[in-house]
Structure 1
Amino acid sequence: MSFSVYRKIANLILLLVASNLSAQVTYYDAAEFQLLGKATAATTERYVRLPDSLEHVSRLPLWQLSRNSSGMAVRFRSNSTQVAVKWESLVNFHMDHMTDVAVKGLDLYCLEGKNWYFVNSARPIGKSTESSLISGMEAKEREFMIYLPLYDGLVSLSIGIDAGASINQPAIESPVREKPVVFYGTSILQGGCASRPGMAHTNIISRRLNRECINLGFSGNAFLDLGVAQVMAGVDAGVFVLDFVPNVTVEQMNERMEKFYRILRDRHPHTPVIFIEDPQFMDSYYNNANARKIKTLNDTLRRIFNELKKGKEKNIYYISSKRMLGSDREATVDGIHFTDVGMMRYADLVTPVIKKLLKK
């Protein structure tokens, strides 16, 4: 039997399960519950990352990417014995080097003590999907979190529980929402190419720090747009993390990097700002031209950073990418975008720095 036939059978089974679910589950609009990871409330649509005011003034690719729900999560509490979801993707996007679960699926996590643990992923079968995430649980109060798609958006999302069970706002503030960590960057920051939403490194870092993280990663479009800096500056952040180097040119850094930084610093004179180098991508070990390009970009980042330091700028920090991906060269899916291994290694490098700065 061919793979395509197997897939059709699997999809049919999922549809049959979904139709059976609808008779047993009561659904609630996820918009009724707490949404984490959003930089601004000035949006008509719920699951988007940039304000409506930028629609006609930002670059079109940037605006389109801001419709992706990367880094967002819905928090709720329930005593249900099961959790199901129904959602409609904005685009029904697909990529050949990233799982559909990560691109347009969902992850369910449950809080046990002080730690969040993965429960299951909801795998999309089309633009609209209904899926059971967990069943057969003891009927007791639990705290849940659903991570949203990394490379697609949501038209709608509903959470399903037992008919007659309760569903409420979270009783425990986890992650802590005060002074979130705000990240700006590229496709890697947006989540490419984690295997599922919970494995994007901003989500890993959020769980490790127990602190809300805001993901402003824009695939191929981290060009130091000053409008994004204005959005970031509107957040009362604990730390700003700037990881844009893989997308920019030397000319863009020379022209915009300090302007971007000044927008943050003018609004937040004491908030730590971290600058992160371009990773050592795999082909640069063999392609001399690419190796020189990465070195030139990182040299430019370091030079401008040092100029800021000489200008008496305080609370700015620099993270080298030398140990970002380890020494085995096994942390990417395509030589550039991180696998889960790469995401974990990035989190290992960056989390201790952020943790220390949040305590200041």
Structure 2
Amino acid sequence: MKSPVLLTALFATAVLSLHAQNPAAPAGAPPVPPRAAPAPEPKLDWYDVTKWGVEGRAWGDLERLRWFDRLPAVADGKVTAAVWGLSRDSAGMMVRFKTDSKLIWAHYVLRSERLAGPNMTAIGASGLDLYARDEHGTWRWVGVTKPDKKEIRQEIVNGLAPGTHEFALYLPLYNGIESLEIGAAAGAQFEGLKPRDAKPIVFYGTSITHGASASRPGMVHTAILGRHFDRPVINLGFSGNGRMDAAVGELLAKVDAAVYVIDCLPNMGPADVRLKCQPLVKQLRAAHPETPIVLVEDRRFANTWIRPERQKFHDDNHAALRESFESLQKEGLTKLYYIPGDNLIGDDAEGATDGSHPNDLGFVRQAAIFEPILRQALGQ
């Protein structure tokens, strides 16, 4: 039997040998197994999604500087520079297709090399999120890409059940797309599904509408509601810059929406709400006399229970929006709806990533509060 001293020496020699093979690892760290070589890419047929189109891309008849921009080229110079820059993100866009392929790949190039943020995962900010309908017609999650560089060529899922399935692929929330192709097994049936003709639910809001801090693109409340209503959604969330601007209102008025959801209070204070809310609603109502308009209070920060000044700010902000809403009603404007913000992400302080932005739990809760009001507005 070897002595303890000899065993210690042998272990130290082994660790030093492994460290020499992997100098990035600190001496004494557990051995790191060698990284497996990537599996060879299977034979695939590739399909460019621009050939049949994506949902969530309004103003399709207007020229764009980039195909996957959210705003048309005419907005450049009319909206603020910040809004224009944020409009280059593909938040809310979703492409549908049918295939009997047992595997799904994606090949896409991102606009920015910045794949994640302090409160956004790389999957949420720069990933693709795949859903499919089950045998009951319900949308259910299937898989995601895991971005690690600007150009991504990855398998999303394999081993799919036999038969033809309808898929929905959500695009990145906080990054733009330069190009996107979907890969299916060579020879498999594949059909790109054009955007549906149903009028969209149009959301205008802040970083929360934009998607912070969903773990993946399909978990934003706008996407959740799109699946629940089985209807196209337009996401015009602009992080830090959802401020009821008339220039954005002018663009909104050009969209034939099923309902407008105005959710800008997290980026506004009471004085701005009183100044801008009524003009924006009247701007939309003048263009669309019968389209429902929903006003949303800002969510309360998850830690307001211990921050009285923040609590008061929310109280004042909510009062300003309620005041504007009631004033509009007194002027005779109809088909206006209102969503209180007190419990949008819950009342247990567990619904946010950083106190302000919902986590997935917060987004599920928010969608649950939005849904009955939107059903009422849509006459369902």
TM-score if structure 2 supplies the norm length?
A: 0.87
- The answer for the alignment partner of 2:332 in structure 1 is 312
* 1:166-315 matched pairs, under 5 angstroms: 166-170=189-193, 177-315=197-335
Per the TM alignment, residue 138 of structure 1 is displaced from its structure 2 partner at its CA by: 4.5
Per the TM alignment, residue 139 of structure 1 is displaced from its structure 2 partner at its CA by: 4.8
- The answer for the alignment partner of 2:127 in structure 1 is 105
- Give the aligned residue type for 1:99: T
Greater per-residue strand proportion: 1
CA distance in 1, matches of 2:165, 2:188: 12
CA distance in 2, matches of 1:122, 1:207: 20
Contact 2:130/2:169 (8 A) holds in 1: yes
* 1:1-360 matched pairs, under 5 angstroms: 16-17=38-39, 20-21=40-41, 23-41=42-60, 42=62, 43-93=64-114, 94-112=116-134, 113-170=136-193, 177-359=197-379
CA distance in 2, matches of 1:143, 1:160: 15
Contact 1:92/1:104 (8 A) holds in 2: no
Q: Deviations over 1:154-197 (max 9, x none)?
A: 011110011112221339x8xx5412111110101111101100
**Local SS of the residue matching 1:35:** coil
- Give the aligned residue type for 2:86: L
CA distance in 1, matches of 2:132, 2:33: 27
Instruction: Structure 1: give runs of 5+ residues left out of the alignment.
Output: none
**Local SS of the residue matching 2:304:** helix
Per the TM alignment, residue 140 of structure 1 is displaced from its structure 2 partner at its CA by: 2.6
Greater mean alpha carbon deviation, residues 70-79 or residues 42-51:
42-51
Contact 1:143/1:170 (8 A) holds in 2: no
Contact 1:39/1:231 (8 A) holds in 2: no
Q: Deviations over 1:4-59 (max 9, x none)?
A: 879xx99965x824xx22x5212121212331112222224221111101112221
Identity of aligned pairs, percent? Answer: 33
CA distance in 1, matches of 2:316, 2:154: 48
- Give the aligned residue type for 2:118: D
Task: Please tell me whether Structure 1 or Structure 2 has the larger radius of gyration of its CA atoms.
Answer: 2
- Give the aligned residue type for 2:300: Q
CA distance in 2, matches of 1:303, 1:55: 33
Contact 1:276/1:318 (8 A) holds in 2: yes
Per the TM alignment, residue 241 of structure 1 is displaced from its structure 2 partner at its CA by: 0.6
* Cα separation, partners in 2 of 1:352 and 1:47, compared to 1, 3 Å: same
Contact 1:36/1:72 (8 A) holds in 2: yes
- The answer for the alignment partner of 2:14 in structure 1 is none
* Cα separation, partners in 2 of 1:303 and 1:227, compared to 1, 3 Å: same
CA distance in 2, matches of 1:218, 1:64: 9
> Across the two proteins, how many residue pairs are aligned to each other?
350
**Local SS of the residue matching 1:129:** strand
CA distance in 1, matches of 2:182, 2:319: 48
CA distance in 1, matches of 2:158, 2:127: 19
- Give the aligned residue type for 1:279: R
* Cα separation, partners in 2 of 1:95 and 1:208, compared to 1, 3 Å: same
Greater mean alpha carbon deviation, residues 278-287 or residues 328-337:
278-287
CA distance in 2, matches of 1:272, 1:136: 44
Per the TM alignment, residue 249 of structure 1 is displaced from its structure 2 partner at its CA by: 2.4
Contact 1:33/1:168 (8 A) holds in 2: no
Contact 1:92/1:127 (8 A) holds in 2: yes
* Cα separation, partners in 2 of 1:30 and 1:11, compared to 1, 3 Å: farther
CA distance in 1, matches of 2:35, 2:248: 43
CA distance in 1, matches of 2:377, 2:100: 37
Contact 1:331/1:342 (8 A) holds in 2: yes
* Cα separation, partners in 2 of 1:320 and 1:152, compared to 1, 3 Å: same
CA distance in 2, matches of 1:57, 1:301: 26
CA distance in 2, matches of 1:309, 1:99: 42
CA distance in 2, matches of 1:10, 1:217: 43
CA distance in 2, matches of 1:11, 1:96: 30
* Cα separation, partners in 2 of 1:217 and 1:320, compared to 1, 3 Å: same
